[in-house]
Amino acid sequence: MKQMKKLIVCLLLSLTLIASGFSEGTKESANNYTLHVYAGVGMSKPVKKVINAFEKDSNYNVDLTLANFGQIVSQMNITKSGDVFICASHQDLEVITDSVSSIDDLALHKVSFAVQKGNPKGITSLQDLTRKDVTLVIGNSSTAAGKIADKILSDFDLSDKVNIIARQAAAATIYTALERGECDAMINWKNNAGENSQIIDSKLTDKYTRIICAASLKYSENIEAQSALIKFLKSEKAIRIWESEGYERL
């Protein structure tokens, strides 16, 4: 009888350990899910820092795709995959509404009209861009920075009156052109206006401020992981990272 009881106890203990093992295995498997995140290449610095912080604070890995908006949309339409898209503005997301389940705001993305430090050409307004001796660099029309620049020039009736010598695929390279003296002015995101540039009339472009947002994609295969990332993106830690890179909190 005693041997029977011992056998039953051992059997129950074994079953408990097996169940515990399966439970731990399931948990580990769930946390091994790799999130696929898209983000605009112009936001590379803060996005990389935020994603690295998320990976350290969670048990999830992230496969990060950095590209311009057009490239991201093209890849998304072909693969029908991904968990989150960190986008430069709500307006951009209007073309992929069928792929988005929800949108969360993260930070302010301000625009600047800037010239070379010291303003050697004496540029004081957007109207000065029509001068023959003034050259301008803006973003590609497929990028958020380029769309904003086109909108500003259109609103001020300057689209066909300015000398645009180049359109860049990334916000950082727009500033590089100005820094190297390859152009006299740029219309770009404020956080990309480096120390060798000088912003002209910041109030002029305030109304073109965009809100950086995180779009939860319908393609996600792990809603729990997706939600964990969105929660972190809205956290104080993430907001401070954005601020450290020149963006502003909501």
Q: Tens digits of per-residue pLDDT, 145-199?
A: 899 999 999 999 999 999 999 999 888 899 999 999 999 999 999 988 888 999 9
Domains of the chain, each with CATH number or no CATH: 34-109+211-244 (3.40.190.10), 111-208 (3.40.190.10)
3-state secondary structure of 116: strand
Taking residue 157's Cβ as centre, other Cβ atoms within 10 Å add up to: 10
d(CA 178, CA 176): 5
The secondary structure element, H or E, covering residue 164 is strand 164-168
Per-position pLDDT tens, the chain of length 250: 544 444 443 444 343 333 333 333 323 334 679 999 999 888 999 999 999 999 999 989 999 999 988 899 999 999 999 999 999 888 889 999 999 999 999 999 999 999 999 999 999 999 999 999 999 999 998 888 899 999 999 999 999 999 999 999 888 899 999 999 999 999 999 988 888 999 998 888 999 999 999 999 999 999 999 999 999 999 999 999 999 998 999 9
C-beta of residue 210 within 8 angstroms of C-beta of residue 109: yes
pLDDT at 107: 96
Indicate yes or no: pTM above 0.85.
no
Please give the backbone phi and psi of residue 164, each rounded to the nearest 5 degrees, phi first.
Answer: -85, 110
3-state secondary structure of 160: coil
* CA distance to 129, 138, 151, 213, 232, per residue, from 163 (Å): 7, 11, 16, 32, 43
Q: Please measure the distance between the N-terminal and C-terminal CA atoms of the chain and give it in whole angstroms.
A: 72
* Local structure of residue 157 (DSSP, 8 states): T
Residue pointed to by tokens 């995140």: 37
Taking residue 235's Cβ as centre, other Cβ atoms within 10 Å add up to: 15
Please give the backbone phi and psi of residue 162, each rounded to the nearest 5 degrees, phi first.
Answer: -110, 160
79 token code pair: 């693969």
3-state secondary structure of 61: strand
d(CA 210, CA 100): 19
pLDDT at 31: 66
d(CA 66, CA 172): 13
C-beta of residue 193 within 8 angstroms of C-beta of residue 199: yes
pLDDT at 243: 95
C-beta of residue 90 within 8 angstroms of C-beta of residue 211: yes
C-beta of residue 84 within 8 angstroms of C-beta of residue 35: yes
